[in-house]
Amino acid sequence: MKEILEILENNARISTKDLAKLTKKKEKDVVKEIKNLEKKGVIVKYKTVINKDLAKEENATLAIIEVKVTPQKDLGFDYIAERIYRFEEVKSCYLLSGTYDLLLIVEGKDLHTVANFVAEKLAPLESVKGTISHFMLKKYKEDGVVLKRDKDRKRLTITY
């Protein structure tokens, strides 16, 4: 199982035939194992990492938002986290240790959309005690993949 997961994590488009060769298993057993992993929720989604800078698409604005919350009695952090991650703007939500409780990845069409989400939807929630927003300027690596950079860009030599 672990071997199949590692291979799929690095290449979700690999054929079951090639996966069977790599794992030295029968293809029908590999197919069965993948279906079982999907059914159990171990495999949640297959994803393509896209370098949007090179795709020439209009990039959405991404923000990393730290959220300080006060969990409700008998409900803990899960309740408020669920209320927050159900907003369509929230792409990821993590429980953290440290100064802030939740870390959100939020996406909007522009800076104002993200700011309005924080001001109008997130901050007014009763359990939310504070937020800090960081706007993403550039991605260098995503999901373990280094995003290709222009090879022609070189630092200028500093001369005195």
Q: Beta strand 61-69 with 102-108: parallel, antiparallel or unpaired?
A: antiparallel
Classified as helix, coil or strand, 151 is coil
- What residues pair up with 130 in beta bridges, in sequence order? 68
Residue 104 has a pLDDT of 98
Per-residue pLDDT tens digits for 70-89: 998 888 999 999 999 999 99
* pTM over 0.85, yes/no: no
CA–CA distance from 29 to each of 1, 4, 51, 105 (Å)? Answer: 11, 11, 34, 37
Give every residue of the chain whose pLDDT is below 70, as ranges: 53, 56-58, 149-156
- The yes or no reply on domain 61-137 and CATH 3.30.1490.20 is no
Q: Where are the domains of the chain?
A: 2-40, 61-137
State in Å, rounded, how far the first CA of the chain is from the last one.
60
Q: What values do phi and psi take at 52, rounded to 5?
A: -65, -25
